[in-house]
Structure 1
Amino acid sequence: MTLEQRLAQGDEAALSECYAALGPLVRRHAGRLVPDHAVDDVVQLVFMEVWRSRARFDPSRGLEPWVLAIARRRAIDQLRAEARHSRRSVPLEDTVGVPDATSAVDAACDVRDALAGLPVPQRQAIVLAHFGQLTQREIADRLSIPLGTVKARTTRGLRRLKHLL
């Protein structure tokens, strides 16, 4: 039985294996999106959500893209929470120097929605390349597909994203 199947069935050992296998990837991904002080919180929230939502996970669709999508959503939530907190804690006269993170959050939401509009193979290739920071060769090896297929899926997906955005 695969790790994905065991996780979907509620095997607690599978969650530990998932954390061991994907924790560094999630940490790297979160580190690119949120400030350093929030990375550990985001990683913890991601794997809590992985466990809580395991019944909705479809093992045939791939564990990494699913976990990275959760990581992206939790990072956006963290950015929004920090933006709300900073807006409440800074007096109005001091807001001139405060950067506004809402445009970045809005852009991230637009990208998420556009990614959701892609076919699964294209979305998977783009998510692994961008959020997982894998090379096309690594994606081909991980998905057990030819390198040319990865290149075609990535190119078509990016072209379609351009039109969707």
Structure 2
Amino acid sequence: MNETLEMRLAAGEAGAIGECYAAHAPALRSYLRRLVPTQDVDDVLQVVFTEVWRFRHRFDPSRSLSAWLFGIAHNRAVDHLRARTPTTVPLEAVADPAGRDGREDGDAFADRDRVRRALDALPDVQRQAIELAYYGDLTQREIADRLRVPLGTVKARTARGLHRLSRLLPPAAA
């Protein structure tokens, strides 16, 4: 009887997971490289194949094995990214600019306090993106690399945060 890899995997044949790994790991690794930091790809891939073996009874051998594998890989990559705690730069670590005459002036203190309170009202991910851009002087690409998130995510977080800040901060008097 000539059973397919799909049928042997679903049946729990011990050698099937090794064949599945040999056949599909390179493509899954390449896919995961686009989603998670490079140093985490092999860890996520291992979780994917552990889950494949653990939930093999859920796989329908008449369906696409690669589609099922890529679905699991995507879900584990998302879980991995959500579980990470991104690093932030605290506002207190950034030097305060001096006033026009080289000293701090009262208006600057008040403005800085208003901005800090408004930033504190933002969701953490939006505040973090804005702080890294404006206080950390990083480009959006550099922020994406530092936070290990897609560039589009940084752009969306920054835009949403700035929009929310515009509603929280009254216009400056001219």
TM-score, structure 1 normalization: 0.55
Displacement, 1:91? 5.5
The amino acid of 1:18's aligned partner reads C
Matched to 2:60, the amino acid is: D
1:74 CA displacement: 0.7
Residues 139-154 of structure 1 aligned to structure 2 (within 5 Å): none
CA shift, 1:92, in A, is 3.9
How many Å apart are 1:43 and its aligned residue? 0.5
Query: Which of these two proteins has the greater Rg computed from alpha carbons?
Result: 2
Matches within 5 A, 1:67-86: 67-82=69-84, 85-86=85-86
Aligned residue in 2 for 1:24: 26
Q: CA deviation at 1:35?
A: 1.0
Q: Distance in 2 between matches of 1:77 and 1:41?
A: 12
Letter in 2 for 1:6: R
Identical pairs, percent: 48
> Does 2:63 match 1:61?
yes
* 3-state SS of paired residue (1:59): coil
Structure 1 counterpart of 2:52: 50
Deviations 1:129-158 (A, max 9, x none): xxxxxxxxxxxxxxxxxxxxxxxxxxxxxx
Q: Which of 83, 88, 91 lines up with 1:90 in the alignment?
A: 88
Aligned length: 101
Larger helix proportion of the pair: 1
Q: Which TM-score applies when normalising by structure 2?
A: 0.53
Give unpaired runs (5+ residues) of structure 1. 108-165
Partner-residue secondary structure (3-state), 2:7 = helix
What is the one-letter code of the residue matched to 2:67? P
Q: Tell me the residue number matched to 1:120.
A: none
Cα deviation for residue 90 of structure 1 reads 3.3
1:9 maps to 11
- In the TM superposition, residue 81 of structure 1 has moved relative to its aligned partner by 1.4
